[in-house]
Chain A
Amino acid sequence: MGEAGPFEEGSLDASQISRIVAEHYDRLFKVAYRVLGCAAEAEDVVQDVCLSLPDKLQDFRREAALATWLFRVTTNRAIDVYRSRKRRRGIFAAWGEIELSRRAEAVEEAAARASLEEMMGALDPEDRATVALVVSEGMSQAEAADLLGVAPGTVAWRMNRIKQRLRQMKQEEPA
């Protein structure tokens, strides 16, 4: 390997990078949205991540490395943004601070929707990120752990806790 300058041979070129980012853009947005519960903030996060790319090019020799980086940075960035927002506005400025989704009506039951809202609001941003990656994106716990920078056991533990919460909510649900 030579000095790893940008656009050296073997690293991805500008058009490849553009293509890869475009391919992943929607999924990145969804992950950010599921952590933040706010479309505008999710857009900001993804934009910040995409625009922080040019100085990092030398690090991406393969598509997989770039994709991993995009997901990792987006997830962590979304968690950070969520946290700072929470700090700014107090504890309740989370998912529960409802930003009405145009597609909310697509949810089958209004009660289920309210409960989901409540549940996502009650989760830590890390838990929501875990849900976004494992449940929605269908990643393995090991992959999610890698992206989140935690031990695989931590992801397993979080998933377990979330499952228990779901069960609990089911019991509390009036028949």
Chain B
Amino acid sequence: MEPFEMEDLRRALDARTPEPCAARRAATLEMLEKNLRSRQESADASRPTLRTPKNKGSIWQKLEAEMTKWKKRSLLLGTSGVVTASLAMFVVVQMNPMENTAVSHPPGLMMERQMPKVSEELVSRSQVRTSRESEFATMDAVKMAPAPLAAKGIATSRMIAPIGGDIVVPPQAGDRFEDVVPSKVQITAENPVSTFSIDVDTASYATLRSYLERGQIPPSDAVRIEEMVNYFSYDYAPPEAGGPPFATHVASFETPWNVDTRLVHIGLQGVMPEIDERPPLDLVFLVDTSGSMRAADKLGLLKQSLKLMLPKLRAEDRVAVVTYAGSSGVALELTSASDVGAISSALDALTAGGGTAGAAGLKTAYGLLEENEGEDRIGRVILATDGDFNVGLSGVEEMKEFISEKRETGAYLSVLGFGHGNYNDALMQTLAQNGNGHAAYIDSLTEARKALGDQLTGALFPIAGDVKVQVEFNPAVVGEYRLIGYETRSLAREDFNNDKVDAGDLGAGHSVTALYEVTPIGSPALMNDPLRYGARETPAGDDGEIGFVKLRWKAPGASTSQLVSTAIPNVDMTPSGEQRFAASIAGFGQILKGSPYLGDWDIENAIALAKEHSGADEWGYRAEALRLMQLYQDLKAIE
């Protein structure tokens, strides 16, 4: 006898699985029926919409409708975490004034109820499959054409873009990501100037890690290469005293995946000022305590994460806690960071439940900062959420404007994303970008330590605002070029000198890396043939430079920018280990995005390159990246 074949496993499992508790079953089904009934009544009463009368016709309702459309579209993306989303939605229902059904678990004793007779007809497999196919069809129908990348509100413009009419959306909630078209190869002679905003976010890296660790290949829209590259700290030399608060490093070297092209590496290293010199901080933690935050990897992790941050603050810094769920409220007024006990107990007292009244919470949080306006303090709202703003909240546009206005008064916003499955990546990005903040996705205490303990102090204390990069390539040297990543951060050429156009901020001690792949004139790797008619002569001229890098930045609080620039010398350098590691991560990112520019260079090459240049890796971040690459390799092998 074979003791452990699948059949044995099945039988053993069957034998061990208990029957569900009949009383609990009855209670659950009874509550469900009650909910369904009250739902039907309310639907009958106020068809065709379910809004409460006082909201009717208001701008809020319109905006909510837009959000609903966006939600519907978002339902098409991703797979898991449906429950958290639906739980939140359920709670919303309960908030309608027309009913007051309890949502909590049923009392221990419930009346036994006669069950409907279990019918024989189970759902046939073919039916299941058919419904799945139609879901896919729907997905295609809803796929939108990519909008042009603009300087601001890219995510938003797509978020509220109309979707394909009245399509029935399958019940698949999940993570939402903005569609992004990877940057294309540019011909230097036609378009020599490339402009983008720096990006110090790291959320995309944590998101894809979370996918890979669950045994899934991340969707390519979840991958932002610059955020992967910038997830790691690099050992770039700090700036010299007296100059700008950051150092600019440029270099070019052979591309790992193409011997006929070169990589241009631009690295910015922000200064780490003496900690005593920074102005005191006022931090308002705006904590999402909606029902969907109930999971331990959300609210539980959030509390621990925020506590981890406290020792990094000083006594003159102050912390406040505002919650939003159903109604928003101040859980803790601005309190000295040295009063760890009060802050900890305020955090401990937070419990999840109710819907998400994001807008009201945001206003309350900013309100706390307003009271102290004019003092020499840095104010920041730190929004911690699983990404939903789904009750009584404005459309994204409204919210963006509000955050931008507040930014002008010096109150910034950072976003910490929690939980899997319900996380609204695009919305979080938009909010943080408009609030001059940092968006990080927290999936573990390690990540919390990195984002909050090690680095958020940097993001909390900007040393250079609205940092824009503009590179002009020399057509005498470079035939074609391509910016790797930064798609959501691309700027119009004229935006560079326009101080009204917002860009990313550089925090204390942060580094930012950007990579271009450039194809020299005459290289066999050129993708475009020269024009027969009207082709310009290759401009004679200085071939001593590959290009010229200009950086615009503002001192914190200043409204006019300053310019620094540096030439990229046309000499092939031996890349440092740091640069090679950055290149390996950019390569991995391109593999995840299915980039067509890598040729035969594959994950194995990326692993080898990263392995060789992991350096000291004090915190093990690079070792983790290697593990993720290997995980990807394994997953790919079985696909």
Contact = CB atoms under 8 A, between A and B. Distances in A.
Interface of A: 1-7, 13-14, 17-19, 21-23, 25-26, 29-30, 33-34, 39, 42-44, 46-65, 67-69, 72-73, 76-77, 79-81, 83-85, 87-88, 101-104, 106-107, 109, 112-113, 115-116, 120, 124, 126, 131-132, 135-136, 139-140, 142-143, 146, 148-151, 153-154, 156-157, 162-163, 166-167, 169-170, 173
Nearest to B636: A153
Contact of B131 (A3, A30, A68, A112): A68
List of 5 A-B pairs having minimum Cβ-Cβ separation, nearest first: A149-B79, A84-B296, A52-B86, A64-B127, A14-B36
A131 B93 CA distance: 35
Nearest to A75: B80
A7 B32 contact: no
Given A53-B32, A116-B9, A5 B115 contact: no
A131 B10 CA distance: 8
Interface in B410-442: 420-421
A56 B89 contact: yes
A64 B29 CA distance: 19
Given A73-B86, A150-B216, A59 B21 contact: no
B32 A18 contact: yes
A55 B24 contact: no
Contacts of B118: 22-23
Given A65-B131, A116-B13, A76 B82 contact: yes
A102 to B, nearest CB: 6
B50 to A, nearest CB: 7
B20 A51 contact: no
5 contacts: A68-B123, A80-B297, A87-B300, A135-B6, A136-B17
A72 B215 CA distance: 17
Interface in B13-60: 13-21, 24-25, 28-29, 31-33, 35-37, 39-40, 43-44, 47-50
Given A65-B170, A76-B81, 18 more contacts: A1-B166, A4-B169, A14-B37, A17-B32, A19-B116, A25-B28, A54-B32, A56-B171, A62-B131, A76-B79, A80-B297, A81-B295, A85-B296, A88-B300, A101-B16, A109-B3, A112-B4, A163-B6
B29 A22 contact: yes
A110 to B, nearest CB: 12
A169 B297 CA distance: 33
The DSSP consensus for interface residues of chain A is helix
Contacts, number: 266
B14 A136 contact: yes
Contacts of A43: 20-21, 24
Contacts of B25: 25-26, 29
B532 interface: no
A18 B29 contact: yes
Contacts of B216: 149-150, 154
A169 B83 contact: no
Given A6-B43, A25-B25, A126 B127 contact: no
A153 B9 CA distance: 22
Contacts of B50: 5-6
A79 B80 contact: yes
A53 B85 CA distance: 11
Nearest to A132: B13
B33 A18 contact: yes
A67 to B, nearest CB: 4
Contacts of B115: 22
Nearest to A126: B215
Contact of B39 (A6, A21, A139): A6
A28 B10 CA distance: 16
A113 B3 CA distance: 11
A141 B14 CA distance: 19
Contacts of B9: 116, 131, 135, 162, 166
B166 A21 contact: no
Given A67-B128, A76-B82, A34 B171 contact: no
A150 B215 contact: yes
A160 B6 CA distance: 11
Contacts of A5: 43, 47-50
